[in-house]
Amino acid sequence: MSDETASIAVCPACVAFPDDKAKSLGVRRSDELRRIELSLPTIHCAACITGVETALNRLPEVHGARVNLTRKRVTMTVEDIPGIEEHMIGLLTNWGYPARELDSAVLEKENHDKIGRDLLARLAVAGFAAMNVMLLSVSVWSGAEAATRDMMHWVSAFIALPTVAFAGVPFFKNAWSALRVGRLNMDVPISLALVLACGVSLSETMEGGDHAYFDAALSLTFFLLIGRYLDYRTRAVARSAATELAALEVVKTERILPDGSRETVPMDALREGDLVAVPVGGRVPVDGVVVEGQSELDPSMLTGETMPEAVAPGEKAVAGMLNLTGPLVVRAEGLGDETLLAQITRLVEAAETSKNKYTSLAEEAANIYAPLVHLLAAGAFLFWGFYSGDWRLAVNIAAAVLIITCPCALGLAVPAVLTAASGRMFRSGVLLKEGVALERLADVDTVVFDKTGTLTTGTPHLVNGGDVSPDMLSVAAALATGSSHPLSKALRDYAAEQGIAPAGVTDITEEPGMGSRGMLDGQEVRLGRALWCGADAGDVGSTATWLRIGEGEPVVFLFEDTLRPEARDTVADLKKLGLAVELLSGDSEAPVRAMAETLEIENWRAGATPAEKVAHLQELAEAGHKVLMVGDGLNDAAALASAHVSMSPASAVDASRVSADLILVGNDLSEVANSVELARKAKKRIVENFTISAVYNLISIPIALMGYATPLLAALAMSTSSITVSLNAMRLGRKT
């Protein structure tokens, strides 16, 4: 009890919500209105909603704001003033809700959830009709006779026929599109059963016959639509989460105009010869030549190498590299086919087309099931027609066979399991992009990891802190203060951990692309690149920076990429599941070997180019292995696409996230092993479900073939099999 009230009422961040800080943008107003959407990841309670909405609605430029807590977003109708998004983001961030812009063009597509609503409306109509007709049928089953029975049948017909015509449209459409190209799918027997059941029942009703299958036709539609809707929802949730990730990366760059002024433009507006500003901490947007500034570029996303490259005017900068030390101006060159990005895109496309088409379990089942059922029904029709000479009876029996073998359970078998499994994965931070990937994940026998950014966090840490005297460290930490370079941050963190206070260095200035310098006791101290500090760069084997006090001997600081804390356990868990683990990196040999030894991975390979990674995966596939590729960099994108199934952390570059089948939204590597385990369980459930429905059919088909099937029997078989299958699937959702 106390816990509950606490979570509702006491939310310090929200109670402290500043009421009257909302400031109008003030200058320009506009009559044009526009809808914008911002992501608010930290919003979480009733007070947040009211606070944000009230404050936003108080602004004169805002004509309506609404928070969506499920999606953690706010949608606003605002006046079309340039820069309004940035202004709103600033305001919200000030109020304690860090906001991010979402690309409205990408979001536009998902907002109109037409298909989902359409399916839900059909589902509701089918459910309503099925319940009513079932009630009417109960009176027939319990012995209504003559005129009463006929009336019940007529009322059922009036409800059932329009309903099947409306609610069955998705099946009819699919069946037609398959038949038109001369193929069979699951929807062909479904549509045939629906049409035949309605037709036979209608003619029986007219003739005053005993058996009408209206209730069976409707519950068939109802159950199958549930399957369809679950299937759709699973995909919609995944797609919306994936678009969210993509929309968060609004790629804009700063173009420098000939008159020296700067404007923010979207990436694709760049033309060859444009000058682009690359701030510290930003990614180089295009391949080009450095015109101004000195800096170091981190190519790890591109090649997997962690060693930064120094660049100066006249040297090449490649799109995707991270700018570490100084602001740069780059002249765009070759935006077309010859960029590295375009080459990788081509590799990805090639890998996708050469990938074998995977036949999902549902397709396999349909391939066996559809022809079999048609043969059985046709056989029963011909046999009874010639045997008894009563063709009306023959049609009745054929319809009964089709209805009783109805793929209700088959239609629910896969979607119910996928919904349960993907729901559970989603809760633990894994996004499943499509259902088939789960089945493929279950087949996996080898896991190939990329190193940088996947097994490591991509942030360096100091490794030789013990060899350096605390005095030196304190000077280095002082020089590192105020620099956003990842190595500086690592130095500061290490000093803080060891309790070393920064020395009193004064006049600290940052030399772009070189390092930091300052004054200590009348001597100049420098922290930065080897040559600048008078050291011999030589072969230190890893990322390094040097400190020099006055004219003294330079001291080297060595850094290594930080291993993800859960990496070691993940590798061990995967091995326990009987999977072979490999390491495939674009980085140089020494760090890869060290990593492989720490994680006890026997098979490793360093210095692999994107094409070599693909080749290696293809070799494995040819040797009969089913490979799960886990990677994050641009250099992994093609490998991800060519693997049997692939995973990518949410921090990965866009190209990799697009290629990967699963995304680790929570950035927790240990979910790799959990996902494989869950996928295996899910596949087992699917097979179980198929077995269950096959057993039901084995019992009921002979009865139907012999002509003993009644509408009551059909209703019982259909409901029990569907319910058993759904219950079996739901066991998966539980945490056991």
* Alpha helices (H) along 577-635: 589-599, 610-622
Q: Does 136 bind other proteins (CB under 8 A)?
A: yes
Q: Is 65 in the site for other proteins (CB under 8 A)?
A: yes
Closer to other proteins by CB, 70 or 469: give it: 70
Which residue lies nearer to other proteins by CB, 68 or 93? 68
Q: According to CB under 8 A, which one of 6, 10, 15, 121 is a site residue for other proteins?
A: 121
Collapsing DSSP states into helix, strand and coil, what is residue 509?
strand
Residue 220 as a binder of other proteins (CB under 8 A): the answer is no
- Give dist(CA 104, CA 462) in Å, integer: 42
The residue from 150, 215, 450, 661 that is catalytic is 450
Residue 10 CB, nearest distance to other proteins (Å)? 13
Report, in Å, the least distance between residue 21 CB and other proteins: 19
Amino acid at 657: R
Helix, strand or coil, per DSSP, at residue 724: helix
Does position 155 interact with other proteins (CB under 8 A)? The reply is: yes
DSSP per-residue letters across 112-170: --HHHHHHHHHHHHHHHHHHHHHHHHHHHHTT--HHHHHHHHHHHHHHHHHHHHHHTHH
Residue 631 three-state SS: coil
Binding of other proteins at residue 104 (CB under 8 A)?
A: no
Q: Which stretch binds other proteins (CB under 8 A): 60-68, 191-199, 423-431, 438-446?
A: 60-68
Q: What residues form DSSP beta bridges with 73? A: 39, 68
- What does DSSP assign to residue 473? H
Residue with Cβ nearer other proteins (65 or 495): 65
Q: Is 70 one of the binding residues for other proteins (CB under 8 A)?
A: yes
Tell how far CA 201 is from the center of its chain: 46
Both tokens of residue 254? 């700063």
**Residues in region 686-725 near other proteins by CB under 8 A:** none
Residue closer to other proteins by CB (options 49, 291) is 49
What is the DSSP code string of 281-328? TPBP-S-EEEEE--EEEE-HHHHS--S-EEE-TTSEE-TTPEE-SS-E
Residue 367 interacting with other proteins (CB under 8 A): no
Q: Which 74-93 residues touch other proteins, going by CB under 8 A?
A: 75, 77
Paired strand residues for 549: 525
To the nearest whole angstrom, how small is the minimum distance from the Cβ of residue 248 to other proteins?
20
Residue among 723, 708, 683, 727 at smallest CA distance from 219:
723
Per-residue contact string for residues 2-21; x = within reach of other proteins by CB under 8 A: ------x-------------
Q: Which residue has the tokens 């994936």?
A: 242
Pairing assessment for the beta strands 328-332 and 275-278 based on DSSP bridges = antiparallel
Please give the Cα distance from 406 to 187 (Å, whole number): 11
Distance between CA atoms of residues 580 and 552, nearest Å? 51
Q: Which residue, 130 or 361, is less far from other proteins as judged by CB?
A: 130
Find the binder of other proteins among 125, 290, 662, 672 (CB under 8 A): 125
Cα–Cα dist 582/573, whole Å: 14
98 backbone φψ class: left, alpha, beta (φ>0; ψ -120 to 50): beta
Distances (CA, A) of 14 to 53, 59, 64, 495, 650: 13, 20, 21, 35, 29
Q: How many CB atoms lie within 10 A of CB 314?
A: 8
- Tell whether residue 64 is a contact of other proteins (CB under 8 A): yes
Q: Does 128 bind other proteins (CB under 8 A)?
A: yes
Residue 67 within binding range of other proteins, rule CB under 8 A: yes
Which listed range, 83-91, 120-128, 287-295, 480-488, lies at the site for other proteins (CB under 8 A)? 120-128
- Those residues whose C-beta lies under 8 Å from the C-beta of residue 220, and which sit 6 or more positions away, are 190, 193, 194, 197, 403, 406, 408, 718
Q: Three-state SS for 522?
A: coil
Closest approach, Cβ 682 to other proteins, in A, equals 26
# residues near other proteins by CB under 8 A: 34
For the chain, state the CA radius of gyration: 33
Among positions 13, 22, 81, 120, the unique one binding other proteins when judged by CB under 8 A: 120
Count, residues in the chain = 736
Continuous H helices in 538-670: 567-576, 589-599, 610-622, 637-642, 654-659
From candidates 24, 30, 68, 359, binder to other proteins by CB under 8 A: 68
With CB under 8 A as the contact rule, which of the stretches 58-66, 308-316, 440-448, 669-677 interacts with other proteins? 58-66
By CB under 8 A, residue 165 contacts other proteins: no
Q: CB of 45: closest distance to other proteins in angstroms? A: 6
Q: How far is the CB of 283 from other proteins (least distance, A)?
A: 34
CB of 348 to other proteins, least distance (A): 35
In 87-177, the DSSP E strands lie at: 100-101
Q: How far apart are CA 541 and CA 589, in angstroms?
A: 10
* Interface segment toward other proteins; rule CB under 8 A; list 40-48, 185-193, 492-500, 594-602: 40-48
Would you say 44 or 625 has its CB closer to other proteins?
44
Subset of residues 423 to 482 that bind other proteins, contact rule: CB under 8 A = none
Active site residue 445: no
Among 408, 369, 418, CA closest to 126 = 408
Choice from 10, 131, 537, 706 touching other proteins (CB under 8 A): 131
What backbone phi and psi angles, to 5 degrees, belong to 238? -65, -45
- The residue among 71 and 626 lying less far from other proteins, judged by its C-beta, is 71
Is residue 49 part of the contact set for other proteins (CB under 8 A)? Answer: yes
Q: Which of 304, 302, 338 is nearest to 320 (CA)?
A: 302
Question: Binder to other proteins among 6, 105, 115, 124 (CB under 8 A)?
Answer: 124
Question: Based on CB atoms, which residue is closest to other proteins, 117 or 173?
Answer: 117
Q: Pick the stretch among 51-59, 371-379, 518-526, 570-578 that binds other proteins (CB under 8 A).
A: 51-59
Interface with other proteins, residue 135, by CB under 8 A:
yes
Chosen residue from 16, 46, 531, 537 binding other proteins by CB under 8 A? 46
**How close are the terminal C-alpha atoms of the chain, in Å?**
27
Enumerate the active-site residues: 450
Q: Which residues bind other proteins (CB under 8 A)?
A: 8, 45-47, 49-50, 53-54, 57, 63-71, 75, 77, 117, 120-121, 124-125, 128, 131-132, 135-136, 148, 151, 155, 159
